[in-house]
Structure 1
Amino acid sequence: MKYWKRTGKWICILCLACHSATAAEHHFSGLIDVRASYTDGTESYVDGGLGKFRFDDGTQLSLSQVGLTYKVDWENAFSAHVTANGYLDNTRNDIGITEAFLNYRSLPWQNGLRLKGRLGLMYPDISLENIATAWSSPYTLSYSAINSWLGEEFRHLGAELTLERLGKFHNSKHDLALSAALFQYNDTAGAMLAWHGWTLSSRQTLLHESLPLSNMPSLAGGSLDDQADESDPFIELDDRFGYHVHGQWRFKGNGEVSLGYYDNNANTLVFKNGQYAWLTKFTHAGVKWRLPYQIELISQIMYGSTLMQSPEALDVVNNDYQAAFVLLTKRWDKHRLTIRAEDFEVSDNDATFDDNNNEQGNALTLSYQYRLQKSWFIQTEYNRIDATRDARVEQGLPKEMLEQQWQLATRWYF
């Protein structure tokens, strides 16, 4: 209930603004994704297992995503944006809000500068993959490990301000942008990465959801006995603000390069209602570039750390992590072919004996898409993850596992 009250405040503000506006344009867009999948692995992380994919071992037919975005544009610099997502499959079925924010976009000044802003519940501006309706990816059915983690544990309530320098005012093809954001309600980010590791998914955590933890010895009377059975990813524990700074260079007709730093600034001595505050920070970089033969390159890298301590300031979980991917995609006529290669790692630096978070792995994705009509697609995909994770042994699983997944989807954007 507390989640709906929190988000409801922002939705009410947006709705009141809609009614008070004398003139506005209203837009609805959405996505329906029906998917058949076969997974060769183990119980999904979504159900509290240590499987790397969204779906459990075996075959299933699912309503993989129903996304709906409402946008209202007023006859000024402001607009509002609300997105809801729903899922119906053999893991967790639910529907709820994933984003709700107010946009500001000024007209360019004579010197080519322009100011933009966002206020509300939103993703940090990081992903170069998830650019389609309802934060979906137009390239693959399953997101990269980096963006799967963002979809699972990252949404914050805050404000973001961006200053852009538009090259066309200076007879240049180069645009520059610098963004800064302050936020709250992201104090437990890092918990799921520590306790189930990197994943490949296509599921975004809904605002009101909590996330189940695996059956770790440390939670069953061990060093983490006080931790709740589920992690609350969008909660404020310490009343401190985190921040995210992000720079971008765009070369018109060629591509873009971005670099940023994220820090949730959590106070690791705070513990409330079974939830610890995790100090999670990382650097991220990305490039999206047009190559010869109409091939598009997308690559992102992330490296950082996450720390969770006891109220006595003893390190309980102290992890470094990194992940990177390279994606190549080519679209011609009604076809799109995409290949993505990834590498990821988690390094456990603490001395907690019953909570080993070490992990190392790689992933490969092959995806083919065919456009039936303007906004209706059929897509098939193969995913492969080869990963070593010490914690699996404690649950009777092999330390190293090769997991595979085959998917067939029909996707309709409207």
Structure 2
Amino acid sequence: MIETGIRLCQFLVLMTFVTLHNTQAAEYTVHGIADLRVSYIDSVDKGYLNSGQGKLGLGDGLHFSLAQLGADISVSWENGFSAHGIVNAYPKASGGGESTVLGITEAYLKYRSLPTSSGYRLQTKIGIFYPEISLENNAYAWASKDTLDSSTVNTWIGEEIRVLGSELKVTRLGRLNNDKYDLSVSATAFMNNDPAGALLSWHGWTISNRQTLWTEKRPFPWFPARADGQALAGQADKSDPFLELDHRVGYHVRGEWKLRGKGELSAGYYDNRATPYKVIDGQYGWRTRFYHLGARWRFSQNLSLTAQYLSGDTLMQSQNKVDVVNNDYASGFVALHYNWQAISANKKHKSTVRVEDFSVTDNDNTWGDNNNEQGQALTLNHSYRLSKPWFLSAEFTLIDSHRPARYYTAQPVDLIEKQWQLAARYFF
């Protein structure tokens, strides 16, 4: 199935190249982001990106980085079809950090119909893409407009939830039915997400802007159950979240109610339907399921709210169908945004306050693999629009977490982590 995804990406690149020679038939655009940051972190030595037990991407100390370099390439035809390819690069940060990586995060074909006479619109998508879950990552290359780092909910979505599949969405447009609201329902059938849940279980909830590239493997901390002769001795050193192990089709369904000019409410359910005792080359199937709720609401021209909640379970078993990892998990956040109108209409200030609560509950009895976790996080962000493409941001994050697994590597079970960041972001 990985080969299928690669062939699809090659097809999209080929279609883009062909249409560049016929500007009458298609319109192409390139947008993206360059995110320059300086960060100071008060935490343990290693962040989760380097297989550490920190909740932040980088470890203790001062870091300079190009935190994200992303490009969103699209080709649109007049008949409603479009092709999209999203590429992201994460160069190695100074002062410690993972190695530089570059690759595809999404690549898909999309069709959006004209409304019917009764006010219905059809949209389909096929390829590699994110299920429609995040309400934060609304900028180019799946970046966030309001904060530098995503919430715990959407950091996990960016790390482990990606699909190779097909989505169908139907929208009832209110303006064509004398209503002030739109209604949408969507259904996605997918493959290539069977190991999702491993990273959430073994490093817990985290906060960063890092997305996993398609076919990329990601590390997790050491724990005693991985030692020779123990229950997880056969587990590979890194998790490969976008694999297909059992050829079972997963699904995601979502509904949305949107009131024009005010906001939206949404709910969805995801089930990868993975076989939890299937293992290939040290990569296990994880039966991962969750529901998610979301809301965006504008109280006034200046004040708005974004909120999300996600809760589910994940199961991995031995080949004898005995539970090895059986976890429940939940995370949610509420964010308030305030736009400060400056004297010049081209220069605006925006402040965001985000509070979060997250947990993992370990329901199995596997020795040396305690995945229990409880924590809260606070993020304060202020952004200034210097010009149309340039934004300057300052962000502070505080995470207070209790995670017994840190005891395995002689680190504090109860940990308070702080991160200060300054960023210059260029959207093109």
**TM-score (ref. length: structure 2):** 0.94
Letter in 1 for 2:300: P
Aligned to 1:373, the other structure's residue is in SS state coil
Do the aligned residues in 1 keep the contact of 2:383 with 2:391 (CA within 8 Å)? yes
Q: Report the equivalent of 1:12.
A: 10
User: Which residue, out of 25, 36, 40, partners 1:23?
Assistant: 25
For residues 230-379 of structure 1, the aligned pairs below 5 Å read 230-292=238-300, 294-333=302-341, 334-379=348-393
For residues 129-208 of structure 1, the aligned pairs below 5 Å read 129-208=136-215
User: Which residue, out of 211, 219, 234, partners 1:226?
Assistant: 234
Structure 1 distance, partners of 2:398, 2:265, is: 28
Q: Report the equivalent of 2:48.
A: 45
> Unaligned 5+ residue runs, structure 1?
none
User: Which residue, out of 385, 406, 427, partners 1:392?
Assistant: 406
Do the aligned residues in 1 keep the contact of 2:5 with 2:164 (CA within 8 Å)? no
Q: Report the equivalent of 1:56.
A: 59
Note closer, same or farther for the CA distance 1:173–1:15 as it changes in structure 2 (3 Å cut).
Answer: same
Structure 1 distance, partners of 2:145, 2:160, is: 21
Residues 93-128 of structure 1, C-alpha deviations (whole Å, 9 max, x = no match): 111100000011000000101100110000010000
Letter in 2 for 1:309: Q
Q: Report the equivalent of 1:412.
A: 426
Do the aligned residues in 1 keep the contact of 2:50 with 2:58 (CA within 8 Å)? no
Q: Report the equivalent of 1:106.
A: 113
Structure 2 distance, partners of 1:208, 1:270, is: 19
Letter in 1 for 2:233: D
Residues 143-200 of structure 1, C-alpha deviations (whole Å, 9 max, x = no match): 0000000000111100000010000111111100000000000000000000000001
> Unaligned 5+ residue runs, structure 2?
342-347
Structure 1 distance, partners of 2:8, 2:60, is: 39
Of stretches 210-219 and 12-21 in structure 1, the one that deviates more from structure 2 is: 12-21
By how many angstroms is 1:293 displaced? 5.6
Q: Does residue 403 of structure 1 match 2:403?
A: no
Structure 1 distance, partners of 2:6, 2:191, is: 16
User: Which residue, out of 97, 100, 109, partners 1:91?
Assistant: 97
Structure 2 distance, partners of 1:192, 1:16, is: 34
Q: How many residues align structurally?
A: 412
Structure 2 distance, partners of 1:14, 1:397, is: 46
Of stretches 15-24 and 376-385 in structure 1, the one that deviates more from structure 2 is: 15-24
Structure 2 distance, partners of 1:17, 1:111, is: 33
Aligned to 2:386, the other structure's residue is in SS state strand
Residues 193-232 of structure 1, C-alpha deviations (whole Å, 9 max, x = no match): 0000000111001113101121111112222000000000
Letter in 1 for 2:286: W
Structure 2 distance, partners of 1:127, 1:134, is: 13
Letter in 2 for 1:80: A
Aligned to 2:135, the other structure's residue is in SS state coil
Structure 2 distance, partners of 1:379, 1:6, is: 40
Structure 1 distance, partners of 2:4, 2:268, is: 28
How big is the alpha-carbon RMSD for the aligned residues of Structure 1 and Structure 2? 1.2
Structure 2 distance, partners of 1:191, 1:134, is: 25
Structure 2 distance, partners of 1:404, 1:220, is: 32
Aligned to 2:75, the other structure's residue is in SS state strand
Q: Report the equivalent of 2:72.
A: 69
Do the aligned residues in 1 keep the contact of 2:394 with 2:422 (CA within 8 Å)? yes
Q: Does residue 126 of structure 1 match 2:133?
A: yes
Q: Which runs of 4+ in 1 moved over 4 A?
A: none
Aligned to 2:333, the other structure's residue is in SS state strand
Structure 2 distance, partners of 1:191, 1:264, is: 13
Structure 2 distance, partners of 1:292, 1:136, is: 25
Structure 1 distance, partners of 2:35, 2:80, is: 33
Q: Report the equivalent of 2:85.
A: 82
